[in-house]
Structures are given as structure tokens and as C-alpha cells.
Amino acid sequence: MDLFNRGRPVRVCAPMVRYSKLAFRCLVRKYDCDVCFTPMIIAADFMRSAKARDSEFTTNKTDRPLIVQFAAKDAHTLAEAACVVSPFSDGVDLNCGCPQRWAVSEGYGACLINKPELVKDMVRHVRNQIDNPNYAVSIKIRIHKDLRKTVDLCQKVEAAGVSWITVHGRTADERHQPVHYNAIKTIKDSLSIPVIANGDIKSMQDVEAVYELTGVDGVMAARGLLANPAMFAGYEETPLQCVWDWLDIAVEHGTPFTCFHHHLIYMLERISSQPERRVFNSLSSTSAVVDFLHSTYVWETLT
């Protein structure tokens, strides 16, 4: 929570399925990211299976501050999962924003914004189960078409002891429509706890603009960081040093090839030509990727 007292917006790496794993979190932390979220973990599966716990949640001593995001639909399961991860993290976040059909049909994600009493109970239950008063309990939401409902939800969870709220400024039905930053400002003005803005953050200019427009306490990026993990350090596009850093970190963590390759596809999109991308995207081994990068970019690095 001390991060919110620095006089500038807290820079947050969003929870991204498949992508915001330990290796990528290590990379963005090298480039001025303040807080990282894990990918969304289904709390019930996490508690049911040791195998799921081992594969879904990995961390190390340098991976802090770390927020573990859970999908849950009952207070007991969420609190149980929070107790398991609390010694290795700085907070848990309840996903109340995932708009995917499978999540909503299972009672997870964005459908929870229509169940304020349940969300309030879940927050309170976690707060009561964790001994550490400094451990964060947060939620990430989407907005209602009727913003009064969103404000009501936020005020209820604030009263229940939530540490902060992340607001993705779209409704559950909206995908690529413009973000409703005015709605985020209204929510921020209605609360006394920190609010983090999320949606279409692709540069530090966006971070500053949203900060000025909404008065929020932090800004969360997802696709912007995938395309440029050094974004929070002020780079307009991925610097080559960041690419080399990713190679080192990914190899050190034994990152599966598909994940390793996909991250590089995102990073190189703005800094490579179309013919280069066509060749790179077809590569199928780590050694081929390394050879391609050295042959394509080594001279630029030397100069």
C-alpha cells in the first residue's frame, strides 16, 4: 500500500492468461513495473489439486510485490486459496471482470459485478482469514451500463475492507470500444480507497493522460506491456536490450517454447519488417529463434 503514496501513478502489470507468468513478471520488473499480477487462477481447482497449485503458481524471492488473482464464486474457497498463497505474495485479487462466456456461465468473472453482497462477503471473509493486516485484498471489475450500480458495488466492498479496486472502463459486453475514462473518474471520486485504471494503456503518455483525466492512484497495462515490456520505463517501442533480457530470463526459467516465442512475436511486431516477421513467426525451436535474433539484430546492438 506504500506504493500509493509516491506522488505518481503506480505502474501495474495486468493478469493475463498464459502471459503474466513468473518469467514475464521478472522482465517487466527490470523496466520500472511496480506491481505484477499472476494470471487468473480458478480457486476451486487450485485447492483441489496439488498439481494445479504447482503449475499455476510459481514465484521467487525477487517476484515482489506480487498479487495473486483468483476466480472464485464463494467466500470459503477464495479464503482458503488466499491462505495458501499469502506467505508467498503481497495480496490476492478477486476477478470480477472476465467477460468470457465460459467464466460467466460458471459463475466467475464479470457476472459478479451483479452480486455485490456476495463480493462484499468474499472480501470480508478473506480479510478475516489472513492474519497479516498489511496483506492486500482487492477486486478487478468492469463497469455497468448504469454506473450507479458500479458505484454502489464499489462502496459496499470498500466498507467490507477492500484495499483497492481496479476498474476496466468497459462493460462486460464491450471489447474494443473506447474506454469510458469518465466512468473511472466517477468511481474514483466516489471512494476513499485507491483506484487503478485499466484499458487501452499502450505508452507512458497514456499513463500520464489517464492519470490526469481520472485522478486514479495507479494504471494497469496488459497488451501494451506485451508489445513493449519496457513501456513503463518510457520506451516508445521494445528496446533490443529488453529482447536480450527476455532470452536470458526465459532460458533461466525453462520457459516452454510456445510461450517464449509468442512473447517475442509481440515484442518484435513494431521493430521488425513484414518479411522478418513472416520468417520469425514460422520458427519452431529456441536455437532457431536465437540464431535469427543474432543474425538480424546483432549489428544494430553493436552500433
| CB 229 within 8 Å of CB 31 | yes
Reference 181, options 214, 212, 149; nearest CA is 214
Reference 59, options 32, 31, 20, 33; nearest CA is 20
Active site residue 26: no
Q: Is 17 annotated to bind ligand?
A: yes
* Catalytic pick among 13, 26, 36, 98: 98
One DSSP character per residue, 207-225 reads HHHHHHHH--SEEEESHHH
Q: Is 16 annotated to bind ligand?
A: yes
Residue 294's identity, in one-letter code, is H
Q: What is the Cα–Cα distance from 118 to 124, expressed in whole angstroms?
A: 10
Reference 43, options 84, 81, 91; nearest CA is 81
| 3-state helix/strand/coil string of 95-153 | EECCCCHHHHHCCCHHHHHHCHHHHHHHHHHHHHHCCCCCCEEEEEEECCCCHHHHHHH
Q: Is 197 annotated to bind ligand?
A: no
Q: Is 69 annotated to bind ligand?
A: yes
DSSP state of 200: S
Q: Is 92 annotated to bind ligand?
A: no
Return the C-alpha cell found at 233. 520505463
Element (H, E) at 36: strand 35-37
Q: Is 222 annotated to bind ligand?
A: yes
Cβ neighbours of residue 102 under 8 Å, at least 6 residues apart?
A: none
Determine whether 83 is exposed, middle or buried from the number of CB atoms within 10 Å of its CB (0-12, 13-18, 19+): middle
Q: Which residues are catalytic?
A: 98
Please enumerate, by residue number, every residue annotated as part of a binding site for FMN: 15-17, 69, 168, 222-223
Please enumerate, by residue number, every residue annotated as part of a binding site: 15-17, 69, 168, 222-223
